[in-house]
Chain A
Amino acid sequence: MGKHILIVDDSSIMRKMIRKTLEPEGHVIVGEAKNGEEAVALYKSLQPDLVTMDITMRGMDGFTAAREILHYDDGARILFLSNLNEEKYGEDASQLGAIGYVNKHKSREILDLIEHQ
């Protein structure tokens, strides 16, 4: 079942790559945000099923944005996609209330995680 997904990443190349990973599987990209502030605003207006969230961004970072979104809607489903070391930062992500933390480059894992939501 295709989900409505909001992509948050400050790199336009990365947003394109995530889109190319998700769209062939039938998911619909409802919006793209390039920093935390845009992410929060777009979440409120688009109400997506799921958010893929980068962490290091110019402007508001991913953890802060996730906290704000979860504060607004505690049922929000946020999947962190990051370059940062999984062992070190994955724990922080789950404590925040995210549904997962995956390395950006493990496309298969990303898709599997989304499917099983």
Chain B
Amino acid sequence: MTNMKFSTAKTACHGFEKSGPPRSRRVQMKKANGTFRVFDFRQRVLLCSVLASVVMLYAGSVLILEAPVVGHSYKQIPATPAIQAPESDRPHSGTAVTRVLFKQLQTRPITILGFIFVCFLTLSYLSMRRISGPLHELSEAARRVAEGRLQVRVPARGSDAVGKIGQAINDLSTNLQEILLHVWNHAEQDMVLLDRIAAALHSEAAPRFSPEIIRNFELVRQDIKNMQMMVEAFEYYDVRLDDDKVMAGKESRPQPAKGEHHE
């Protein structure tokens, strides 16, 4: 999805831009308090075509229908072009036609209906934006949690459906962190116990153990280290793994850049 700043309907209509190569994704979690406006290409095209057809409807209704307007009357255009109607000429120059059209439009009922329709379109566009902004924030947050960045926090926002999803993402992330740190802590405890067993195994007083047992013992240790590697692959909220200890504070390890900026 391209993160293009939304331009007004007018500028977007002039020349339908090709979507082109996707721009590098800009992670904008800092703008959590503002609305992040994104309208993708398809939505802009749709909006433009709707507005264009409304405008054409106006012009079309005037030209084609030629319905009489309250307070005005038209003389029929005579069959012989040589005879011209004396007073209410149909003007032939471009700008004059436009002026007449415009004046007609102001009084026709269809104009009023059309105006209401445009207002309706504007309002629905504005409310789409109000939802699509937070929705975009939400999808960014969900993506980051999915990538293992559990320090992400969706800001609290109302009790509507969007707000509830945000809350659920926060809760999922919190629980995920809890599970992983749980695994970590138990793994650490196990390592301590294994060290004690190892010390006992290698002490002078211990009987000779078969290589089989010693090898299995080492495998258990490997296994636990493996589990811990999974935990180390995540980033946590307000917690970092520092030399096998769980410490408060932000993650300080450099992360492999994926073309994204870090907070």
Contacts and interface: CB of A to CB of B under 8 A. Distances in A.
Contacts of B171: 12
B172 to A, nearest CB: 10
B228 interface: no
Interface stretch (B18-26, B54-62, B74-82, B238-246): B238-246
Contacts, number: 47
A64 interface: no
B228 to A, nearest CB: 14
Interface string A70-101: 00000000000001110011000000000000
Contacts of A89: 248
Contact of A85 (B177, B178, B182, B246): B246
B141 to A, nearest CB: 13
B177 to A, nearest CB: 7
B181 A83 contact: yes
B7 interface: no
Contact of B189 (A10, A11, A58, A105): A105
B182 A104 contact: yes
A46 to B, nearest CB: 23
Nearest to B156: A59
Contacts of B182: 83, 104-105
A114 B38 CA distance: 53
Contacts of A55: 248
Contact of A11 (B153, B178, B184): B178
A56 B170 CA distance: 14
Give the interface residue-count category, chain B.
20 to 34
Interface in A1-41: 10-14
Nearest to A63: B248
B150 to A, nearest CB: 11
B174 A11 contact: yes
Interface in B147-181: 153, 170-171, 174-175, 177-179, 181
Contacts of A103: 185
Contacts of A84: 239, 246-248
Contacts of A10: 174
Contact of A83 (B170, B174, B175, B185): B185
Given A58-B170, A105-B186, 9 more contacts: A12-B171, A13-B175, A14-B175, A56-B237, A83-B178, A83-B239, A84-B247, A88-B245, A104-B182
Interface of A: 10-14, 55-56, 58, 61, 83-85, 88-89, 103-105
9 contacts: A12-B171, A12-B175, A13-B179, A56-B237, A58-B153, A58-B174, A83-B182, A83-B184, A84-B248
